Structures are given as structure tokens and as C-alpha cells.
Structure 1
Amino acid sequence: MTATTLRITADRPDRMHVALHRPAVRNAIDAAMVAELHVVCAELEAVPRILILTGSEGVFASGADIAELRDRRREDGLAGINSRLFGRIAALPMPVIAAVDGWALGGGAELAYAADFRIASTTARIGNPETSLGIMAAAGATWRLAELVGEPVAKEILLAGRVLNADEALALRLVTEVHEPGQLDAAANALADRIAKQDPLAVQTTKRVFHAPRDSHPAVDEQAQAVLFESPAKFARMDAFLAKRKRS
């Protein structure tokens, strides 16, 4: 695809690297970026691959584009412009890795919250300053963030403007790794490598079942396992394991 707000690399069959790229406005998320990310989602829904999301030039995303946000009205709020995109990203078949370098604020933070994995650089700063602008974080933070870091810290971020640095985010397990900025892309690819070693169908099924409603368990687990038990990859991988154990 041709994109103006993203830098897309898809030179490996198991992953796509998408860098948010509006450096003049610190990668603020505007309507064009939303539209282009929807196209990315459509491609990854059709051909499932791991998605690595990054920023560019030392910033992940400074939030929604305030110039656009200033003019949005009631109808725009009801349209869920960012929340529907981030929900689509969260629901992608294969895992999503957000590699956060520098500022991830507002909608940028909410985009990171929608990922399956978040890793950070030492310069990462993550927060939701929406209430200082007279609005709220309405693209997932009010519920995803509480699930990720717990209610007390989530309220500090959402209601009192707390911004987490990389060490705080790691201590709270909002991110699982912290690296120097120059090593962040390599770390994201190393994580993608570990995922790519697993059976893709098993990964996709596990992600789907992991996010299934609580009251659907254990039936949803059993139904999914029944499908995997008939998968050719299950037999091939288990045969290889047993052959290796026999040789050793």
C-alpha cells in the first residue's frame, strides 16, 4: 500500500513493521493516519502476520491531532473514530507489538494499550492528558488501562495527569522490556522471532480464546483445542518433538 503518514516494511513473510511518521507534529494521529491504519488492518486480517508498531524520530505518538480534535463535535464522539480503529488493531489475528520510544500520549498511549505486547525505550513517557484539554480518553484507556496497571494507577493517569517513565511502566508491567532507543527495533524483532517460532494457528487460536468473555470458558477452550487436535501442524510438531527426544 501507498501511505503518507506511515512507513511500512513488509520484507519478511511473518511480520509487518509500521512506523507512525508525521514528524512535524510528533506523529499526532489524524484522519489520514486512521484511514491508513485501517488499510493495514485489512491486509493483516486477510493475511495474518505479526504487527510491530513504532514511532519515528524519537516519538511514538503525541496523541490525536489537536488541530482536528478542536473541531470535532458530538457526532464525531459518537463515531468512535479512534476507538474503533484501536479495537480493530487489538482484534488482529496475530499478536501486535508496540515499541514505544519517547512520548506516547493520549491517543498514542491508547494505541499502545491496544497492543498485545508493549516494550519501551529508556526515553518512553506514557500518559493520558485528555482531561487537561477538556475531554476524556475515550479510545480504550478507561478500561484497558485499569486492566493493565490496576485501578489506582489508572486513575492517577486518567484523572490527575500522571505520566509514567520507562522504569515506572516496567515496574507496573505496562511494558515488559526496556531498551536503549537504538536497540528498540532489534528488541521488537527479537520478540517477533520468538512468536514466529510457534505454530501460527495455535497462536491465533490462543489469542482469540484469551480475549473471549469470561463466561464462555471453559467451553470456548475445549472447542478451540478440539480444532487444534486435528491440525496437521500439531501432528508434525509433536512427531518432531518425539523424534528429537528419541535421538537424545
Structure 2
Amino acid sequence: MNFEELRDFLNEKADVYNNAEFIQDDPIQIPHRFSVKQDIEIAGFLAATISWGNRKAIIKSADKMLDMMGNSPYDFVLNHTDNDLKSIESKSIHRTFNGEDFAYFIRQFNRIYKDNESLENLFKINNAETNFYHSIERFRTSFLQAEKHRSHKHVSSPYKNSSSKRIIMFLRWMVRNDQRGVDFGIWETIDQKHLSIPLDVHTGNISRTLGLISRTQNDWKAVVELDEAVRKFDKNDPAKYDFALFGLGVTKELL
């Protein structure tokens, strides 16, 4: 396919999957259960954090976390007791993300929301920046602080060349706004043109098949390469092509 054909093909595929029906089988359904901004942020960040493996298992594990928070994430973050967290610490959550990690995240959220109305404040993009490379790292530093803890492995670092797939997915949920009902677009001070596509095995393989990237590793350098490709198709909304790559991965149309 030439440039125009590939752009039209990807726009068509993005359009097919970018609708409310997408929500019911995807982890994004977790934050969609809420209407308060902070509830959406907390539920979304937790669901994104455990988003590896089978999607049904991810949703089941996220349900478990919501139940432990009384299905009121923001209220629980602000008003939990030490006994609440002790009870959580012994629980199994999702694969290597355990109760100790969950309790640690709750403590970090509590500290952050005492000083910030929204997590948006921690992801601001500076003028000279074109993506979330530095922004994610600033957030990571603020969220994890200097102390060493086993939970640090669950917040990826682009400075260590990680694709940071789960954080990038969370950012798409919060920032992107196209009135289609899937992404929330509740972070209005951050322009969606800076978003990247969450890169994993499936999106990476599809991107290589389409000639969008040549790098063989699914790392931050590959994220940047994919940025450069899809922004040529739509510089104002590059992350919409995540829906296209997802759809092509599900249908195995190119395999």
C-alpha cells in the first residue's frame, strides 16, 4: 500500500473499533463505571497497571480491587484506615501485582491527592516536549519517590527504554477526546497530539507487518518510531490508530 492507501486503511479500521461496543470487553470498562474525575483516574490507573495477559482476567482482578475499595476509589484513597490496608496487603490481586503493591499504590495516591486535585498535574507536558517521555518519568519520580519498594517495577520507566505501554494506555484514556465515548478526555490542559500508541507484542507485530516500524524490540525507541509514522497520517490525533492496530490484531486480518 502507498501512503494514502495505508492512511485510509488505518482510518477505516480505527473507525470500526472506536465506539461504545469496544468498552464492554476492555479494561477501560473499569473507569467507565464512574463519573467523578478522581474516581475515573484512580480506577483507570489501577486497571491500566494490571493490563497484561487475558483481558477477562484483567477485568476480574480490577473488579476485585474495586470491591476492596467499596467501589468508591477516591473516598477510599482519602479515608482508608491502617487496618484497611493491612487487610489488603495479604490479598492476591493479579499475577505479580499483589496486595502489598495495591496497598502501596493507595498510600501514594493518598499523598498525591492531598496536594493535587488531579493526577493531570503530574503529567503536564513542557513546551519543548513532543511526547510523554519526560512527563512519565516526572510522574514516576513523584509517585514512587526515592524509597525503594517492590512496587516500582509496576510503573515503567521510559528512561530505561521501556515502552511504558500501560501508562501510555492510561494517558490515552484520560487525554484523548473525540466524542466517540471510549476515551474520557477529562484532562483538558494536555493536548492529545502528544499521545503515543501503547506498544506491546500485538501492536508491535502489526506495525512491523504494515511497515510502520522496523525496530525489532518493543521498547521506547520503537514507540518513537511508531510516533513518527502515525503522526504523518494524523498529527492532531495519532493515538486513534491504537484502535486500528488493536482491531487488526484481534481479527488477524494481516496474518
Question: TM class by shorter-chain length?
Answer: under 0.3
Higher relative contact order (CA 8 A, sep 6+): 2
Task: State TM-score, norm by structure 1.
Answer: 0.27
1 or 2, which has the higher strand percentage?
A: 1
Task: State TM-score, norm by structure 2.
Answer: 0.27
1 or 2, which has the higher helix percentage?
A: 2
**Which of structures 1 and 2 has the bigger CA Rg?**
1
